[in-house]
A = this chain, B = another copy of it.
Amino acid sequence: MATLSFTCDYCEGAHPEVLKRLAETNMEQHQGYGDDPYTRSAVQRIRQATGCPEAEVFLTVGGTQTNATVIDAMLPHYEAVLCADTGHIAVHESGAVELAGHKVIALPATAGKLNATTVQDYLQAFYADPTWPHMAHPGMVYISFPTEYGTIYSRAELDAMVQVCRCYNMPLYIDGARMAYGLATPAADITLPELAARCDAFYLGGTKCGALCGEAVVFPRGNAPKNFFTIVKQHGALLAKGRLLGLQFDTLMADGLYLSLGRHADELAAMLRRGMEQLGIEFYIDSPTNQQFPILEPRHRQALEGRVLYEVWQELPGGRAVTRFATSWATTADAVQQLLSLLSNPAAEAR
């Protein structure tokens, strides 16, 4: 049996339809830097899918560069970005936001989510402190949808956050690296247009949702920072062969493919979860999307040794561990069954 990987949602290449179209259009000649018909079409499709006819859309390559570019473009230096202490910009971007000159203020999160009340309390305390002009000013709220723990914000939670942001005149920025999985789960009570209407900027993740690479930054109401094209270039996030990004998003955003990839992955994640629960495995967190966090016993880990790849998030006493299993558009029901089968008969398999 070959090794299976549930390590992450970018273990495979691109969705076959993406690759097919790349091949079909490969020898066409197009201008660079996004001035090509596929990028133009992708922008139109994104405007339609988000219900934002005046949206300004920019295609970038990866998540970290996108976050640093957008945050730096939207804030003066003395403004900080508020986020969950488990947020990607606070943890796994090597200080990219700080490299751009901005403080990241990490607030306590619950299951990966930042609560509107937490933000409000922070802001009240901040402005109640008479020394606030000597501190980095809170300038933006950053949240991930879904979060780094697979959880999602409800419409009510987003509304509460929007309320706080409006009250303090701060933009709300949503990191949608895994947006497809967040919108497609039955647990979601919000659509893409509803989400777009609630924030000032967000990106639709391509890399983790079926593309080889690429993220689509959306300023939903024509509110892109002036000369954002040049800003993207200065941050090293402008791709010469923009067609590579354009064609991928043009494909993903056509015929509901983006959300259907998300739905597929979410369903297999739910299948994985149900199967594990039936085996008595507990979960660290209640995630309705493509990332699942089972707490594995030593016997489980032994059973998977050399056969299944996954991430260990936290070692626990006694050889147990919080782990992460991610599904993607490429995960098959068969693969999940194999995984469950290995877990269900640890002794036999471990021999």
Taking Cβ atoms with an 8 Å cutoff, the residues of A that contact B are 3-5, 7-8, 10-14, 16, 19, 22-23, 25-33, 61-66, 68-69, 72-73, 76-78, 80, 91-96, 98-104, 128, 130-131, 133-137, 207-208, 212-213, 225-227, 229-231, 233-241, 243-244, 309, 312, 315, 330
Whether the Cβ atoms of A14 and B26 lie closer than 8 Å is yes
Which residue in B3, B78, B91 is a CB contact (below 8 Å) of A95? B78
The answer to whether B133 touches A208, judged by C-beta atoms less than 8 angstroms apart, is no
- A-B contacts, 26 of them at CB < 8 A, read A5-B31, A11-B31, A13-B22, A13-B26, A14-B26, A19-B22, A19-B26, A22-B212, A29-B309, A31-B309, A64-B236, A65-B235, A76-B225, A76-B226, A94-B134, A95-B103, A98-B136, A99-B234, A100-B101, A103-B104, A136-B230, A137-B230, A212-B212, A212-B241, A213-B244, A236-B236
User: In the complex, what residues of B have CB within 8 A of residue A240's CB?
Assistant: 10, 62-63, 207-208, 213
Q: Say whether chain A's binding surface is mostly helix, strand, loop, or mixed.
A: loop
From residue A106, how far is it (CB to closest CB) to chain B in Å? 9
Measured CB to CB, the closest approach of chain B to A264, in angstroms, equals 15
State the oligomeric state as a number of copies.
Answer: 4
Do A92 and B12 have beta carbons less than 8 Å apart? no
Which 10 residue pairs spanning A and B have beta carbons closest together? A65-B236, A95-B136, A13-B26, A94-B234, A95-B103, A5-B29, A11-B29, A94-B233, A98-B103, A98-B98
A93 near B134: Cβ-Cβ < 8 Å:
yes
Partner of A23, one of B19, B28, B238: B19
Beta-carbon contact of B62 and A234 below 8 Å: no
User: Closest residue to A225 on the B side, CB-wise?
Assistant: B76
Q: How far is the CA of A208 from the CA of B29 in the complex (A)?
A: 14
